[in-house]
Chains A and B, each alone.
Chain A
């Protein structure tokens, strides 16, 4: 039974979020650390190198790691304060069981008993309702080793098709578009290629707050002559000084790309030779774009016609360029089409696959890239293999030592899993690294689904908002308590190093998964004794797939400070063993890949990239008479995702304590709201009351609310559960909304601290 055991305030009182602070050895100016551990930040997909100061099995501070090539010591405030998540008062150090009689709703129980309880609940539900009655939710902040193990655990141990991950809310539109256009899903160039390029187009990415280190690359490119184009409904820090600002109306991105491509076609700003030699499908795309005249594009997108013309000219006439995009164009029910629209601009220009020219998608989570490659996605097997492809199934089941007939088929996306819980098809859930009660849209529905579960277990280091519904909570590991690999934004696989041991009864997550498998009496395939052993199996499992890691070793990662995949153990051309250095840049002329086999640089049998018609469709639940404004959501620099970690770090909470409703003064004066007033934002799903922030840096028809907070402050009570038909990403970036002034402070203001 997965209802809350007690009033939520009581649970919060016991388990937080409370704030950590610099105290004791972390404040002392005389304590010398025992050692410095070179590792990476636990938060976003940039994965900055950092050195953690360790003293007596505790992380007491950090020292910049200036040799690591991506960030060279640079960090954002989250990286600076990440170490304060350790030795935290809210840290789970024992297993917990739901206990309405205890003062905070949960009581400790021995780890082994907790594992047995979980295993017997899984066994009971699977015996009664079939193997598919159990679902697994996982996440892209986990190391690649853990994501691989979870995919294997769901398919081989539980034999359920139902596993999906929180990358579903993040990278899937980009991933699907990349696969359709290039046959491979990754950023094409290292970030250093940006410096020295002619034009950089930033489509829907507030780099200053979401990927701060990228800003230095952007500014350095500008110093060296690059023109910067920023497409955003808000004047972000990058938009403030960019050369061309495209203030697009939320949800109209595909129209903008079509309009720009149409102008490029009209002015013949095209690389015909590249299009003819290396692509297919241009004619269909050109036919679609014909209707996107500048006037119509301006009308639909809200971008002035002269700016659209200027964008086409800047992009069309450049000699070298870089385009990158993020959630701003991807978090849409049209997210794949939006992403394909950017790729069409890149392919039409022919500027890809060479130094200073490329295309990239900015990943959101620590392992946003690696976490989407090795099988925790509902339709995928390791190495970016397809669970519906008989050859792929045969290969992986051979590596795993199981009968192919026992391997389940494709499951469903994370949101659809909740619909299956609602329908009674999924009755038990195991969740790790995912906080759907805060992060999924229309979260009132998600809460209702959680309450319907017969059994819910969560592996976590803090009791997050979703885990409050759990029957059993298993104490997992923090980033710094385990080793493994992740793949960062440039597709550089890097090594995460362990700094400290897990406290109390907490365990590395992969051990917990294996303990459950063992307690279920199905230990085969789950007897690894270290992350390195898991990685070594992953190398074999990924071999021959598009995301080929076979040539990567922990030693090579340390030696090269990261390895860009694909990295082969055997030369794909000759089949002979090779010491492959990795592939920093894709699609270079004459490059060989195992799919095209020399036919061309792209990852299709004919070696050619695909133009795809990138159709504009209006958003679901668009602004209308009743809800005339666009609601859009996003991040602030001091918080991360659902805030499970960052809402517990004192200095970060102090920097931006609570969410605010960002509105333009023209809108504010129309509805009678002043800066700092309590205001109500309402959509068809619900309403929330927050303080208003009145600024001229947002479209007057648009409202922005950051998404890191829970409960009555959670903007995902308002967002719509519309999803892209291909990628199944939710449409977080737009829905119809209205705002009005509140009569007074909301009830929560008297009871909840800012972070709670």
Chain B
């Protein structure tokens, strides 16, 4: 049974609290118990508590599959990019190097690449993925477009990402502040890599250059809130 077409995966880094419930819960999934197929990134812990859960984005044209010399990575009819097929995978790691989001991992002990398959065992029977079910901040949300529009009026989903010359369209959506998304519906990831994280940030700075002005609304927004503290 395929994943229902009307259900989508939304990632909202603005909500993420870095608790790793998603990573811990992923190790409980029945198809790969003991191993997490997802991970949590600290953007730069020395400067910020901002974290992002990294799940497979399930690209329309998966780079991992395109670079696979053994043709081991398949995409299901409903758009889910799966772990490498056992008899084909040669554990070469091309996919690991090529994936723009840093998702696939080669398990040396088993000589195979494994990655997030959007909890296919759960989603294909109408359940939510384990990580999105437990996520206490709902930074990982699984539901309909209508639900997201109703529950998240401050942000909007985008699914196009630019990495240098490559533009990638994904099945998984990233939530970005609505005001910024209207300026550019495409996240320039390479450009954003030069951004410095700030201690406090009301908005995410992953969109193109002219949209990086944070929405300032409070008295102590922006700069270092501890600027006046003497040591």
Interface residues of A (CB under 8 A from B): 22, 26-29, 61-62, 64, 66, 71, 73-77, 79-81, 208-209, 212-213, 215-216, 219-220, 222-224, 235-241, 243-245, 247, 302, 304, 306-307, 309-310, 637-638, 651-652, 655, 664-667, 670, 675, 694-697, 699-701
Q: B27 an interface residue at 8 Å Cβ cutoff?
A: yes
Interface bin, chain B: 35 or more
Set of chain A residues within 8 Å of B20, measured between Cβ atoms: 77, 637-638, 655
The answer for the CA separation of A567 and B151 in the assembled complex, in Å, is 33
Q: B229 an interface residue at 8 Å Cβ cutoff?
A: yes
Q: Quick one: given A223-B152, A700-B231, are A74 and B220 in contact (CB under 8 Å)?
A: no
Set of chain B residues within 8 Å of A236, measured between Cβ atoms: 49
| Interface contact A247-B225, CB-CB below 8 Å | yes
Most buried by A among B50, B130, B217, B220: B220
Set of chain B residues within 8 Å of A66, measured between Cβ atoms: 133
Q: Which 10 A-B pairs have the closest CB atoms?
A: A208-B17, A212-B136, A310-B219, A237-B17, A77-B24, A75-B134, A215-B137, A80-B24, A306-B219, A64-B133
| Interface contact A245-B200, CB-CB below 8 Å | yes
CB within 8 Å of A: which of B179-231? Answer: 199-202, 217-220, 224-226, 228-231
Quote the shortest CB–CB distance from A252 to chain B (angstroms): 13
| Interface contact A310-B218, CB-CB below 8 Å | yes
Quote the shortest CB–CB distance from A622 to chain B (angstroms): 16
Set of chain B residues within 8 Å of A655, measured between Cβ atoms: 20, 24
Most buried by A among B128, B134, B138: B134
Set of chain B residues within 8 Å of A220, measured between Cβ atoms: 138, 151
Q: Which chain B residue lies CB-closest to A213?
A: B136
Q: B88 an interface residue at 8 Å Cβ cutoff?
A: no
Set of chain B residues within 8 Å of A310, measured between Cβ atoms: 218-220
The answer for the CA separation of A374 and B39 in the assembled complex, in Å, is 44
Q: B19 an interface residue at 8 Å Cβ cutoff?
A: yes
Q: List 10 A-B contacts (CB under 8 A).
A: A212-B136, A239-B200, A240-B200, A243-B217, A247-B229, A309-B219, A310-B219, A651-B24, A664-B231, A670-B231
Set of chain B residues within 8 Å of A212, measured between Cβ atoms: 17, 19, 21, 136-137
The answer for the CA separation of A76 and B136 in the assembled complex, in Å, is 6
Q: Quick one: given A22-B33, A655-B20, A665-B46, are A241 and B220 in contact (CB under 8 Å)?
A: no
Cβ 8 A contact of B231, one of A667, A694, A697: A667
8 more contacts with CB within 8 A, not counting A215-B136, A237-B49, are A61-B28, A216-B136, A245-B220, A247-B220, A638-B19, A695-B45, A696-B48, A697-B47
Q: Which chain B residue lies CB-closest to A694?
A: B46
| Interface contact A240-B50, CB-CB below 8 Å | yes
| Interface contact B231-A29, CB-CB below 8 Å | no
| Interface contact A209-B152, CB-CB below 8 Å | no
Cβ 8 A contact of A208, one of B18, B25, B154: B18
Q: B30 an interface residue at 8 Å Cβ cutoff?
A: yes
The answer for the CA separation of A66 and B153 in the assembled complex, in Å, is 24
The answer for the CA separation of A309 and B136 in the assembled complex, in Å, is 32
Set of chain A residues within 8 Å of B225, measured between Cβ atoms: 235, 245, 247
Set of chain A residues within 8 Å of B152, measured between Cβ atoms: 223
| Interface contact B134-A74, CB-CB below 8 Å | yes
| Interface contact A244-B220, CB-CB below 8 Å | yes
Q: B31 an interface residue at 8 Å Cβ cutoff?
A: yes
| Interface contact A81-B231, CB-CB below 8 Å | no
Cβ 8 A contact of A697, one of B23, B133, B153, B199: B199
Cβ 8 A contact of A306, one of B50, B133, B200, B220: B220
CB within 8 Å of A: which of B6-46? Answer: 14-21, 23-25, 27-28, 30-34, 45-46
Quote the shortest CB–CB distance from B225 to chain A (angstroms): 5
Q: Quick one: given A247-B225, A699-B226, are A77 and B21 in contact (CB under 8 Å)?
A: yes
Cβ 8 A contact of A219, one of B27, B33, B130, B138: B138
Cβ 8 A contact of A675, one of B24, B46, B154, B228: B46
| Interface contact B230-A244, CB-CB below 8 Å | no
Q: Which chain A residue lies CB-closest to B20?
A: A77
Set of chain A residues within 8 Å of B23, measured between Cβ atoms: 77
Q: Quick one: given A208-B137, A223-B154, A651-B24, are A244 and B34 in contact (CB under 8 Å)?
A: no
Cβ 8 A contact of B19, one of A26, A81, A208: A208
Q: Quick one: given A243-B202, A670-B231, are A27 and B33 in contact (CB under 8 Å)?
A: yes
| Interface contact A240-B49, CB-CB below 8 Å | yes
Q: Quick one: given A28-B33, A64-B134, A700-B231, are A695 and B17 in contact (CB under 8 Å)?
A: no
Set of chain A residues within 8 Å of B151, measured between Cβ atoms: 220, 223
The answer for the CA separation of A307 and B220 in the assembled complex, in Å, is 6
| Interface contact B229-A701, CB-CB below 8 Å | yes
The answer for the CA separation of A317 and B206 in the assembled complex, in Å, is 34
Quote the shortest CB–CB distance from A420 to chain B (angstroms): 41
Q: Which chain B residue lies CB-closest to A236?
A: B49
Set of chain B residues within 8 Å of A306, measured between Cβ atoms: 219-220
Interface residues of B (CB under 8 A from A): 14-21, 23-25, 27-28, 30-34, 45-51, 128, 130, 133-138, 151-154, 199-202, 217-220, 224-226, 228-231
The answer for the CA separation of A76 and B133 in the assembled complex, in Å, is 11
Set of chain A residues within 8 Å of B134, measured between Cβ atoms: 64, 73-76, 79-80
Quote the shortest CB–CB distance from B123 to chain A (angstroms): 14
Set of chain B residues within 8 Å of A701, measured between Cβ atoms: 229-231
Set of chain B residues within 8 Å of A237, measured between Cβ atoms: 16-18, 49, 51
| Interface contact B50-A219, CB-CB below 8 Å | no
The answer for the CA separation of A747 and B16 in the assembled complex, in Å, is 38
| Interface contact B133-A80, CB-CB below 8 Å | no
Set of chain A residues within 8 Å of B28, measured between Cβ atoms: 61-62, 80
Set of chain A residues within 8 Å of B48, measured between Cβ atoms: 235, 240, 696-697
Cβ 8 A contact of B46, one of A62, A240, A695: A695
The answer for the CA separation of A368 and B206 in the assembled complex, in Å, is 42
The answer for the CA separation of A666 and B231 in the assembled complex, in Å, is 7
Set of chain B residues within 8 Å of A64, measured between Cβ atoms: 130, 133-134
Quote the shortest CB–CB distance from B6 to chain A (angstroms): 18
The answer for the CA separation of A146 and B202 in the assembled complex, in Å, is 46
| Interface contact A76-B49, CB-CB below 8 Å | no
Set of chain B residues within 8 Å of A28, measured between Cβ atoms: 33
Set of chain B residues within 8 Å of A664, measured between Cβ atoms: 226, 231
Quote the shortest CB–CB distance from A231 to chain B (angstroms): 12
Q: Quick one: given A75-B136, A304-B220, A701-B230, are A235 and B49 in contact (CB under 8 Å)?
A: yes
Q: Quick one: given A29-B31, A219-B137, A240-B49, are A696 and B19 in contact (CB under 8 Å)?
A: no
Q: Which chain B residue lies CB-closest to A629?
A: B231
The answer for the CA separation of A212 and B17 in the assembled complex, in Å, is 8
The answer for the CA separation of A694 and B47 in the assembled complex, in Å, is 9
Cβ 8 A contact of A304, one of B19, B45, B199, B219: B219
| Interface contact B133-A241, CB-CB below 8 Å | no
The answer for the CA separation of A76 and B45 in the assembled complex, in Å, is 20
Quote the shortest CB–CB distance from A328 to chain B (angstroms): 16
Q: Which chain A residue lies CB-closest to B203?
A: A241
The answer for the CA separation of A204 and B6 in the assembled complex, in Å, is 41
Set of chain A residues within 8 Å of B137, measured between Cβ atoms: 208, 212, 215-216, 219
The answer for the CA separation of A245 and B217 in the assembled complex, in Å, is 12
Most buried by A among B25, B28, B50: B28
The answer for the CA separation of A208 and B128 in the assembled complex, in Å, is 23
The answer for the CA separation of A566 and B220 in the assembled complex, in Å, is 42
The answer for the CA separation of A245 and B16 in the assembled complex, in Å, is 18
Quote the shortest CB–CB distance from B47 to chain A (angstroms): 5
The answer for the CA separation of A26 and B23 in the assembled complex, in Å, is 17
The answer for the CA separation of A637 and B134 in the assembled complex, in Å, is 14
Q: Which chain A residue lies CB-closest to B14?
A: A241
Cβ 8 A contact of A75, one of B15, B17, B25, B217: B25
Set of chain A residues within 8 Å of B136, measured between Cβ atoms: 71, 74-76, 212-213, 215-216
The answer for the CA separation of A465 and B201 in the assembled complex, in Å, is 42
Q: Which chain A residue lies CB-closest to B15?
A: A219
Q: Quick one: given A222-B154, A310-B218, A651-B27, are A76 and B231 in contact (CB under 8 Å)?
A: no
Quote the shortest CB–CB distance from A498 to chain B (angstroms): 22
Quote the shortest CB–CB distance from B82 to chain A (angstroms): 16
Set of chain B residues within 8 Å of A213, measured between Cβ atoms: 136
